[in-house]
């Protein structure tokens, strides 16, 4: 089986700072992999390298066996196939919800307004947001805005969804609603790479968990194995802090 995502010895510097150090990771179709680790460990940078929001210096990343920098993709074509959602919702405040989620399909990918809006209303209905198509971002709660951001990423019918700390900016009572959406996408078979500090969610939802430290994947495995019997001292120390903070219950 050709991996859906194949990250091979990827290295990234920001100036003189080594951020990713020969990172390798493979993901199969329909697999959910959570990236965990302390802030600054390279998780978000690795995620953003997959759809070339960040350009890496060495190594190769392949999507369905094709290098992501292959001219056959084009950057817009790649970003259509690998959708991304950030912790900041990044919605346009002067546009209503429907215009926000249909902008890229219409302007970048050439869909007609009617086609894009029909699909957009279907996606919003899935997330119980069908009554908010005409609302503006400032009229929505944080959880609702994040649902719209996820809906926007799905509008191009991506092969892969990249999720970067999507609950970090939410009030605690709103986190569960957004995570329920991600569980639903997993049930639908969406391939997802998720950067998260929600350890209980990673343990429940991930097929595999990768622990990054200092730009290196120190350890990876199933949630039961990694959370239950971590092998590396740094992984053990990280999880002990998480448990002490009550974030793995």
Q: Sketch out the chain's domains with CATH numbers.
A: 5-90+159-244 (3.40.50.300)
pLDDT of residue 172: 76
pTM over 0.85: yes
- Nearest one of 180, 220, 222 to 37, comparing CA atoms: 220
The answer for 165, left when phi > 0, alpha when psi is -120 to 50, beta otherwise, is left
Residue with tokens 């290295």: 11
Q: How far is CA 219 from CA 91, 94, 113, in A?
A: 35, 44, 46
Q: What would the pLDDT profile of 75-130 be if each residue is shown by its tens digit?
A: 778 988 999 998 888 899 999 999 999 998 898 778 899 999 999 999 999 888 98
Query: Distance between CA 195 and CA 156 in Å, rounded?
Result: 21
């Amino acid at each position: 089986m050709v991996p859906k995502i194949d990250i091979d010895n990827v290295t990234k510097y920001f100036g003189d700072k080594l951020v990713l150090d020969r990172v390798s990771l493979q993901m199969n179709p329909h697999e959910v992999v959570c990236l965990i680790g302390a802030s600054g460990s390279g998780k978000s940078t690795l995620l953003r390298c997959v759809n070339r929001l960040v350009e890496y210096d060495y190594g190769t990343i392949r999507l369905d066996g094709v290098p992501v920098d292959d001219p056959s993709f084009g950057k817009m074509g790649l970003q259509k196939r690998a959708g991304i959602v950030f912790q900041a919702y990044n919605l346009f405040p002067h546009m209503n919800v429907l215009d926000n989620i249909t902008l890229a399909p219409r302007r970048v990918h050439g869909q007609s307004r009617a086609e894009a809006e029909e699909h957009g209303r279907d996606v919003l209905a899935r997330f119980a947001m069908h009554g908010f198509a005409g609302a503006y971002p400032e009229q929505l709660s944080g959880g609702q805005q994040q649902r719209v951001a996820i809906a926007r990423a799905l509008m191009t019918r991506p092969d892969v969804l990249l999720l970067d700390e999507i609950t970090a900016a939410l009030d605690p009572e709103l986190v569960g609603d957004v995570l329920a959406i991600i569980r639903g996408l997993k049930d639908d078979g969406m391939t997802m790479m998720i950067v998260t500090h929600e350890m209980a969610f990673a343990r429940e939802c991930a097929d595999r968990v990768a622990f990054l430290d200092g730009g290196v994947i120190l350890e990876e495995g199933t949630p039961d194995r990694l959370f239950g019997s971590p092998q590396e001292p740094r992984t053990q120390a990280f999880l002990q802090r998480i448990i002490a903070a009550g974030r793995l219950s």
